[in-house]
Chains A and B, each alone.
Chain A
């Protein structure tokens, strides 16, 4: 392939030149460089066109994507094309990944290597989510990004663990490698990464599309939450050596989910798949059932795969069921005891938590100091799962007295112990008491 050299200038399609500063990394389709263009630093992906089946169509597709723009802010989307060289080589510019984001691969590894530029020696630095909020928010962000993409009529094609950067403190997500994204049904010859590919793609009987994206998405979600491979259990490990034909079998022709309720032949193996065994116990049934559906009927019936909106609802619920106890234990409410329908109890320290029943949900949201709810949870018409609408705080003047603070832009109504409803304007708060009822406008909530 024709590689670029440091200091070389590449002509951009609509004028100007991008100057190559350094190599960031290389992958199957080409190399990514850091470049300077119009006074800013960018990432330039430069293609190895020899490896492409149809570089012209590929370039035209990127051009279309650039003019369509990203489906949401969560994509590191192609911004500008370079001119095409005489030999057909070209590339495109995209924004650089901010330093605060780590690759999904490093999250799965639980560390990253930091290399001393002088000695070349590497040290391991831990990479893990700093809170359960950040982790569940990351999951919601991933699902939402693919929902937006599919709504735009496009498919990602080669969805895998190399396609995301995540901020482990906030759960913000950036989807990268967006250059294979194409209108659903189109394909530029990318097959995908085994283990993430839908079984019908592994077998050779389908090309990547929106439905195969859904399978890959379920694998990504499973890996993020359960930290293991949904199809690698006893049946696969028995093969000892994973040859090409055993991959075709275990990921294509005869893929069996490790927790298939009807088929126990491929259960996780203690000592190898400890993460999966541990986390399968922790997650609530509604999450586990969705993975079971994805990896049992979803294997043979692409139309029965979980749709993104469904995942989004499930993970919004999961996030609202986090309990952070003052004893230090943070977990999902399914891992707390339930003395009665309204109360959760910490199995470690015995602390009790009340809960809020929203009129638009079947499940109760546990309440603890610092818990929050989001715009989309109090307004059925809102899709905003990032803006905090309300938070449980402690009264600054009366230590020990807890109450809700309205951080939204709407005025709520709350029922006080005198039996009357009072307006709660943005920025104001009100104490929590046993008979509390809140009217958010379209949604009501009660402690009872």
Chain B
């Protein structure tokens, strides 16, 4: 387009003003960064979902096979769970003889790729609690500069801890992220101890038990999806009330809701014949 056309309809008057404007010095407007269309994504809250997975020798075979498969399939299904509100990340901690993170830091759910786990060794769950406690800190895994939701912590095990978990759990219990976190646990097979798991989650409602491959897959899915949905969103606290809410009433409301929803889903799950503990 020529200069002529560039000028506006009221061309005559404009001419002299162009000249005047060129000499005017200070420009009050930063014209390099004022495009109303060039926005970045809205600021989001962050949520880390921790999976604590028992990789001791007893998990070998069908249990590990089911677990690996369901996790591989599950993650793409919940990729959009954060919608426009939450940036969801995943961190996987495995415990056998050694305690190991699948990746060195939490990875965004949109980019996360499951790396298949192998089972070997004993059940050092206490060590896992210690490691989790160390990483659940603003200086480590929970270092988002923006707001965070309390993390989701999902423990899966098929046995009783071989180490002294009590001391480690007591220490973990003083971690505020753990305190406010959404905790759930899945016991696999006969050896897993639901009472011990309830110590970890803080309530029996958020502990479930799988005795077969079908149940294992279904329960992992239910817990992961439900906890990711509840954990990644603000909660409607006032659905059923007709009075001014106070802070005590809403305390741990998400954890309670998680317990309810897990229990509701469990009643819809049927029992299957072939258990993990037969035919080994």
Report A's interface with B, CB cutoff 8 A. 104-106, 108-111, 113, 115, 120, 122, 124, 128-129, 131-132, 135, 161-162, 189-195, 197, 201-205, 223, 225, 227-229, 232, 236-237, 239-245, 247-249, 251-252, 271-276, 278-279, 281-283, 325-327, 329-332, 335, 337, 339-340, 342-343, 345, 347-354, 367-369, 392, 394, 399-400, 402, 432, 434, 447
Contact status A241-B83, CB under 8 Å:
no
Known: A122-B110, A241-B149. A347 touches B31 (CB 8 A): yes
Complex interface: chain B residues within 8 A of A193 (CB): 233-234, 236
With contacts A120-B76, A241-B176 taken as known, whether A331 is within 8 angstroms of B45 at the C-beta atoms is: no
> What residues of B have a CB within 8 angstroms of the CB of A240 in the complex?
138, 147-148
> What is the minimal beta-carbon distance from A380 to any residue of chain B, in angstroms?
25
A244 CA to B247 CA in the complex, in Å?
A: 8
A368 engages B8 (CB within 8 Å): yes
Q: List 26 A-B contacts (CB under 8 A).
A: A124-B110, A128-B37, A128-B39, A135-B36, A192-B236, A203-B244, A227-B40, A229-B43, A241-B176, A242-B150, A248-B245, A272-B146, A281-B30, A282-B36, A326-B6, A329-B31, A343-B8, A349-B6, A350-B18, A352-B10, A352-B13, A352-B17, A354-B14, A399-B5, A400-B2, A434-B10
Contact B34 A282 (CB under 8 A): yes
Question: Is there an interface contact between A194 and B234, defined as CB atoms closer than 8 Å?
Answer: yes
Contact A244 B37 (CB under 8 A): no
Of residues 34 through 81 on chain B, the ones whose CB sits less than 8 Å from some CB of chain A are: 34-37, 39-43, 45, 76, 79-80
- Assess the A162–B238 pair: CB atoms within 8 A: no
**Contact yes or no, A110 B35, CB < 8 A:** no
Min CB distance, A137 to chain B, in Å?
A: 13
In contact, A247 and B36 (Cβ under 8 angstroms): no
* Contact indicator B39/A110 (Cβ below 8 Å): yes
By beta carbon, the residue of chain B nearest A368 is B8
B89, chain A: closest CB distance, angstroms:
15
Pairwise interchain contact B234-A110, C-beta atoms closer than 8 A: no
**Contact (A351, B7) CB under 8 Å given A122-B110, A247-B235, A343-B17:** yes
- The verdict on B170 contacting chain A, using a C-beta distance below 8 Å, is no
CB pair A223 B42 closer than 8 Å: yes
The 8 residue pairs across chains A and B that have the minimum distance between CB atoms: A354-B10, A194-B234, A352-B14, A432-B9, A191-B236, A204-B238, A108-B84, A245-B247
Q: Compute how far the CA of A447 lies from the CA of B10 in the bound complex, rounded to whole angstroms.
A: 8
Q: 11 other contacts beyond A113-B110, A194-B235, A343-B14, with CB at 8 A cut-off? A: A109-B42, A110-B41, A111-B41, A194-B234, A194-B236, A241-B177, A244-B237, A245-B251, A248-B247, A326-B5, A434-B12
Cα separation A335 to B32 with both chains bound (whole Å): 12
Which of A275, A331, A367, A434 is close to B42, meaning CB atoms less than 8 Å apart? A275
- Closest chain-A Cβ to B269's Cβ sits at a distance in Å of 13
- Listed residue (A132, A161, A205, A350) with the most chain B CB atoms within 10 angstroms of its CB: A350
The residues of A that contact B33 with a CB separation of less than 8 Å are 278
Task: Confirm or deny: B273 has a beta carbon within 8 angstroms of a beta carbon on chain A.
Answer: no
- Are A122 and B29 touching (Cβ within 8 A)? no
**Which of B1, B34, B237 contacts A204 (CB under 8 A)?**
B237
Most-contacted residue by chain A among B39, B180, B240, B250 (CB, 10 A): B39
Q: How far, in angstroms, from A135 to B251 measured CA to CA in the complex? A: 40
| Minimum CB–CB distance for B14 against chain A, Å | 3
- Report which of B1, B8, B85, B244 forms a contact with A367, defined as CB distance below 8 A: B8
How far, in angstroms, from A331 to B31 measured CA to CA in the complex?
Answer: 10
